[in-house]
C-alpha cells in the first residue's frame, strides 16, 4: 500500500530525512517511532505531498507522490500533530466543510459525515462547537476529518500527544478499530504507544531508519541469549542473597546475573545466558539442590525501551544490525 524509496529531505543545515526506504502492507498499522527531531513529521509531510523531497520518492496505493500528488491526496487522510479544526464551527458543520473540500457532495457527503461521527464516537455531540470540546474529543474530530473521504491510508502524527491517560486509551482503541478499514502509519516518540497499538515498528533516529520489524520480533532478536527471571526464597525464612547470586553465576552458560529485588527472605535475579544457550533447567536445579525454594522462573523479555536505547544510542550491538538488515538497511 505504501512504498518508500530512498526518501530524503535536506534543509540548509540539516538532513532531516536521509535516504529512508520501507514498505507498509494493506491493512497494517505501523508505528513510526523516534525521538524528537528524528524526522517523523518531515517524512509524513512528504508522504502527504505537503513537502517536496530533495531526492527519492514514494508511492501510495500505486500512485507516485511526485508525479500524481492529487491521486495520492485522495487516498490519504492526514491528522497533523495539531488537529486542523476550526474552533468556532460545530462538529457536523466542520466535517461537512472538510468533506466538500475532499470532493464529496449531496447524499454521499451526508452519509460520510454521519459515518465519521459514528465511527469516531462524536455522534452525540455533533452539534457542539469544536472550541468547547475537551482535547480528547477534539482529537476524535481530527480523526473524523481524516476518514471523511474513506481514504485507503491514514497518516497520524503523534495522535495521542497532550492527552490525559483516559483519552490516550480511548484514542488508541479508536485507532485500532480503524485499522480494519485503513492502512495506518502513526508517529510517536512514546514507546508503549507502538507496543500497544501497532503490529510493526519502524524506528527512525537522526533521519535514518535503524530498525524495521514486528514489535515481537524486535524484542526477540534484541535479546542476546535466553534471559530468565528467577525468584528464590529461603526454606527456613532467611536467605543470603550474595550466596544465591554466586550460585547462579557458577552455572555453565550464564553470562550475567543482575539483582532485581533484594530481601531477607526472597530475592529476584535476572539471569542472562550466552547466545544460543538455554539455562532454565540448570537454574532450577541449582536453586533446588542448594536447598532454596524456587518461587518463580519465567522468561525476561527485553523491554522495548531497552531495545530503543540500544538502537538509537551511540553504539548499537552487532546483533541489532541484523534487525536493520532484515528490514530496511540503508
**Nine-digit cell at 157?**
502524527
Q: Pick the stretch among 9-17, 127-135, 177-185, 240-248 that binds ligand ADP (CB under 6 A).
A: 9-17
In the window 26-85, what residues touch ligand ADP (CB under 6 A)?
34, 36-42
DSSP 206-272: TTEEEEEEEHHHHHHHHS-S-EEEEEEEETTS---HHHHHHHHHTSTTEEEEEEEE--SSEEEEEEE
Q: Pick the stretch among 11-19, 115-123, 167-175, 320-328 that binds ligand ADP (CB under 6 A).
A: 11-19
Of 41 and 167, the one with the shorter C-beta distance to ligand ADP is 41
What is the three-class DSSP state of 129? strand
Is residue 191 a contact residue for ligand ADP (CB under 6 A)?
no
**Rounded least distance, CB 114 to ligand ADP, Å:** 34
Is residue 227 a contact residue for ligand ADP (CB under 6 A)?
no
Is residue 16 a contact residue for ligand ADP (CB under 6 A)?
yes
The conformational region for residue 300 under phi > 0 = left, psi -120 to 50 = alpha, else beta, is: beta
CA gap 330, 327 in Å, rounded:
10
User: By the 8 A CB rule, do 186 and 159 touch?
Assistant: yes
Q: Pick the stretch among 8-16, 65-73, 243-251, 271-279 that binds ligand ADP (CB under 6 A).
A: 8-16
**Nine-digit cell at 69?**
500528488
Of 188 and 227, the one with the shorter C-beta distance to ligand ADP is 188
**Rounded least distance, CB 152 to ligand ADP, Å:** 23
Q: Is residue 79 within a helix (H) or strand (E), and if so which, with residue range? A: strand 76-79
Number of chain positions touching ligand ADP (CB under 6 A):
11
**Rounded least distance, CB 43 to ligand ADP, Å:** 7
Closest CA to 65 of 50, 47, 77, 78: 47
**Rounded least distance, CB 206 to ligand ADP, Å:** 8
User: By the 8 A CB rule, do 39 and 203 touch?
Assistant: no
Terminal-residue alpha carbon distance, the chain: 21
Of 16 and 233, the one with the shorter C-beta distance to ligand ADP is 16
b/e per residue, 217-229, with b = 16+ CB within 10 A?
Answer: bbbebbbbbbbbb
CA gap 112, 185 in Å, rounded:
22
Of 238 and 314, the one with the shorter C-beta distance to ligand ADP is 314
Cα Rg of the chain (Å, integer): 25
**How far out from the chain centre does Cα 78 lie?**
17
Neighbouring C-beta atoms of residue 70, cutoff 10 Å: 8
Query: Which of 3, 5, 6, 14 touches ligand ADP by CB under 6 A?
Result: 14
Of 38 and 98, the one with the shorter C-beta distance to ligand ADP is 38
Of 11 and 107, the one with the shorter C-beta distance to ligand ADP is 11
Of 23 and 158, the one with the shorter C-beta distance to ligand ADP is 158
Is residue 11 a contact residue for ligand ADP (CB under 6 A)?
yes
Binding mask 115-144 for ligand ADP (x = CB under 6 A): ------------------------------
**Rounded least distance, CB 13 to ligand ADP, Å:** 7
Of 38 and 120, the one with the shorter C-beta distance to ligand ADP is 38
Of 187 and 223, the one with the shorter C-beta distance to ligand ADP is 187
**Nine-digit cell at 100?**
466538500
**Rounded least distance, CB 215 to ligand ADP, Å:** 19
**Nine-digit cell at 210?**
535503524
- Residues of the shown chain interacting with ligand ADP in the complex, contacts defined by CB under 6 A: 11, 14, 16, 34, 36-42
Amino acid at each position: 500500500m505504501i512504498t518508500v524509496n530512498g526518501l530524503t529531505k535536506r534543509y540548509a543545515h540539516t538532513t532531516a530525512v536521509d535516504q529512508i526506504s520501507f514498505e507498509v502492507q494493506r491493512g497494517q498499522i505501523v508505528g513510526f517511532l523516534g525521538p524528537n527531531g528524528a524526522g517523523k513529521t518531515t517524512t509524513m509531510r512528504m508522504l502527504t505531498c505537503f513537502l517536496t523531497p530533495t531526492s527519492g520518492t514514494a508511492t501510495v496505493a500505486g500512485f507516485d507522490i511526485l508525479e500524481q500528488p492529487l491521486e495520492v491526496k485522495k487516498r490519504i487522510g492526514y491528522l497533523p500533530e495539531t488537529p486542523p479544526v476550526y474552533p468556532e464551527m460545530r462538529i457536523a458543520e466542520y466535517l461537512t466543510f472538510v468533506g466538500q473540500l475532499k470532493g464529496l457532495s449531496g447524499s454521499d457527503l451526508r452519509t460520510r459525515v454521519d459515518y465519521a461521527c459514528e465511527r469516531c464516537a462524536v455522534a452525540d455531540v455533533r452539534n457542539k462547537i469544536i472550541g468547547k470540546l475537551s482535547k480528547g474529543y477534539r482529537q476524535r474530530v481530527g480523526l473524523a476529518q481524516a476518514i471523511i473521504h474513506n481514504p485507503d491510508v491514514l497518516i497520524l502524527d503523534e495522535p495521542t500527544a497532550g492527552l490525559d491517560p483516559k483519552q490516550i486509551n480511548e484514542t488508541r482503541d479508536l485507532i485500532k478499530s480503524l485499522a480494519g478499514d485503513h492502512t495506518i502509519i502513526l508517529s510517536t516518540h512514546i514507546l508503549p504507544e507502538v507496543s500497544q497499538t501497532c503490529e510493526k515498528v519502524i524506528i527512525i533516529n537522526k533521519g535514518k531508519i535503524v530498525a524495521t520489524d514486528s514489535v515481537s520480533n524486535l524484542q526477540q532478536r534484541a535479546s542476546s541469549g535466553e534471559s530468565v527471571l528467577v525468584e528464590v526464597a529461603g526454606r527456613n525464612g532467611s536467605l543470603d542473597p550474595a550466596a544465591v547470586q554466586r550460585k547462579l553465576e557458577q552455572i555453565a552458560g550464564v553470562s550475567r546475573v543482575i539483582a532485581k529485588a533484594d530481601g531477607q527472605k526472597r530475592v529476584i535475579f535476572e539471569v542472562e545466558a550466552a547466545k544460543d544457550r538455554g539455562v532454565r533447567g540448570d537454574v532450577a536445579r541449582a536453586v533446588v539442590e542448594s536447598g532454596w525454594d524456587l518461587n518463580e522462573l519465567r522468561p525476561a523479555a527485553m523491554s522495548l525501551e531497552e531495545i530503543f536505547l540500544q538502537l538509537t544510542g551511540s553504539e548499537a550491538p552487532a546483533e541489532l544490525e541484523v534487525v536493520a538488515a532484515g528490514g530496511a538497511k540503508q
